[in-house]
Amino acid sequence: MMEMYQKAGKIVSKVRKKAVNQIKEEMKIIDLVEFVESETIKLGGKPAFPCNVSVNEITAHYTSPSNDKTTLNLGNLVKVDIGAHVDGYIADTAISVLVGDGESEENDTKESNSENIAEKNIKMIETAQAALESAICTIKPGLEVGKIGEVVEETIKNKGFKPVANLTGHSMDRWILHSGLSIPNIKDNNPHKLEEGEVLALEPFVTDGVGLVADIKDIYIFRFLRDRPLRMIYAKRVLDKIKKDYKNLPFAERWLLDVFNEHRLNAAMRQLIQSRAIYPYHVLKEKSNAVVAQAEHTVIVEGDGCIVITE
């Protein structure tokens, strides 16, 4: 088991580093997403969820739909969230990157404003990383989960920012990305004590906004929930494919386009959502439209500390 987790961790670590080197102005998000997912497979893993590329105030759950034309622009703060699994054993990691230097060449005033924004965003990225490192240093068997959030919140606020209060890290199990335990990013009264062998994704989110996220209407990521009686035979075929290929792990609709007709697939997906056979993950946005940074590692609780498998 540990060997599988470590293999998955090495894969996402390598892919994360390669992905950062790919990011550039005017790059299509779908090209970055597909690069990450294909590299994961080349290195011997499978995506544990669709690669998330969330820009500025978009905080999580954005992956490209098919034929996505969205591009990265100079000065964008880009969060790349990557998961890989080896036979169901998952490693999850994320990093934030500023596209280019964030500067404008139009005039002195705009250039000055752009520099100030870039400096703030770089500081936000550094704060997310510092909060992650602080969280990792606290992990040990017997630690109350709420204490992790307290350390994360303190680190972020000391740098002049806010944690995103309604997003958390999570425990993981084989084939289960969110296995029941939430790891807070704010002080919390959760008395659960960490146990040796628990696998945790620690992921602070940092903003200069109100520190809350909300759903928007866009949905590009889904997860199998249960078998349901379905009106459409085509929908049943789609659900069988989802259950067989992805089990309980999140997937993107675009992953199914190699097998299914796009128009019929869209109709089938609507029925699967309505019947609650699959769960839709709405894209999440910071409520005040403020920029958000994220950092994430997967750790395994052991001995008197933890091992980080995604460094």
Catalytic-residue membership of 170: yes
φ, ψ for residue 70 (rounded to 5)? Answer: -60, 135
Sort 272 into a burial class: Cβ within 10 Å, 0-12 / 13-18 / 19+. buried
Pick the catalytic residue from 57, 85, 153, 170.
170
Pick the catalytic residue from 57, 92, 253, 286.
92
Give CA–CA dist 249/200, Å, rounded.
16
**Tokens 């609507």 sit on residue:** 270
**Tokens 């000391």 sit on residue:** 158
Catalytic-residue membership of 178: yes
Pick the catalytic residue from 37, 39, 203, 253.
203
Pick the catalytic residue from 81, 198, 208, 286.
81
Pick the catalytic residue from 37, 188, 208, 296.
296
Pick the catalytic residue from 126, 178, 192, 302.
178
Where in the sequence numbering do the catalytic residues fall?
81, 92, 170, 178, 203, 296
